Chain A
Amino acid sequence: MAALQKLPTSNLPEAVLDRRQAVPALIDRPQDFLIVTGLAGAAQELSAMTGNAPNLFAMGGAMGAALMTALGLALAQPKKKVLCVTGDGDLLMSVGGLATIALQNPPNLTVICVDNGHYGETGNQESHTGLGVRLDTIAACSGFPAVHTINSDTDLEEGRRLLRESGLRFILLRVKEGPPLKEKRNLVPHMERENFRKALLG
């Protein structure tokens, strides 16, 4: 059997947080931000947290697109605070985007990776991060000026503070396996675009 071994460099503590409490506790007031989420868990969670509000653009596919969509938005709207909220699987697919974003260094963008170490949508296979790849270290080495890792409740306060300061941020929110908050979503893609633009641009 070709079992995958945890990387010998793996050195993070076991994830203990439940995303259904930790994501709302970190973001606190989603209405203060323009938000782009990756597909699956992050999209469902933020849809539930905002009641599908039009300050949220939630992917229903296009895996790997969330990070750079958030950069285009942050550059276009320098006076608004932009959040990219996405999972470890989505971010692993677009990890070069961290380097692209660091070069632009938009002070109004925060990337939050909700890292459960698994592909929760497809049978819960362990992801690279579950086996010890560290996206926080990758973000730091890509040039993100501030990187914060949340392993437990006590790390949340610093995350909440960073989120509301100016400056490009990367926050790794480590959560255990388990379902996200859920709400029935509109999956008609062009309505997502139209609703978001209408609310922001009139």
Chain B
Amino acid sequence: MTDASNWPEQLYDLLRSANVTQFAYVPDAGHKVLINKSLADPQAHSIPLTTEEEGVALAAGADLGGERAVLLMQSSGVGNCINLLSLINGCRFPLLTLVSMRGDFGEGNPWQFPMGQAVEPVLKAMGVIVLRCDQPEDVIPTVTAAITMVFQSSQAVAVLLGQRLIGAKKF
């Protein structure tokens, strides 16, 4: 049995083996390994964004050109994406996003709760399927399922990486 504790490294390899080449992100500690690996990968595009909705439009453009993108963001960034999810929903673009959660299990900063707790309902309201990982063993099977749903079935899927998994930031 493989060790699930290094799931971030395995996750990068999984995304690359699924031909994801455009890694778009607003930096977050929960995505540090994926970001650094994309920066070190000459075969991938590592695309820092100024705001998360840029990544929604980028994913649409990647699909128009026959490439695959992933949007890495923190839960607070989900709110920035909402209107541009019209583009994904209306045009039936595939969208894969990995969301590192705040305002979730064990959160110590009250500013994080309004958006953190709204992530699931607002994504669902815009037609995005929400999957969730709370244990290291969940990550690879869940993202594997998401990849099939997104790139084979042309769905929009958000995989939430819960604070039980990534740890609550200490204050």
Contact = CB atoms under 8 A, between A and B. Distances in A.
Query: Do these two chains really belong together in a complex?
Result: yes
Interface residues of B, number: 32
| Category for how many chain A residues contact B | 35 or more
Contacts of A77: 65-66
A197 B94 CA distance: 13
B78 interface: no
Contact of B61 (A64, A71, A99, A190): A71
B66 A68 contact: no
Contacts of A67: 57
Nearest to B65: A76
A93 B137 CA distance: 40
Question: Main SS of chain A's interface residues?
Answer: helix
Interface stretch (A54-62, A115-123, A133-141): A54-62
Interface string A42-61: 00000000000000010101
Contacts of A189: 87, 90-92
8 contacts: A62-B87, A68-B55, A68-B56, A73-B62, A75-B45, A96-B49, A193-B92, A197-B64
List the 4 closest A-B pairs by CB distance, nearest first: A72-B61, A76-B65, A96-B50, A189-B90
Interface of A: 34, 36, 57, 59, 61-77, 94, 96-97, 99-100, 103-104, 189-190, 192-193, 196-197, 200-201
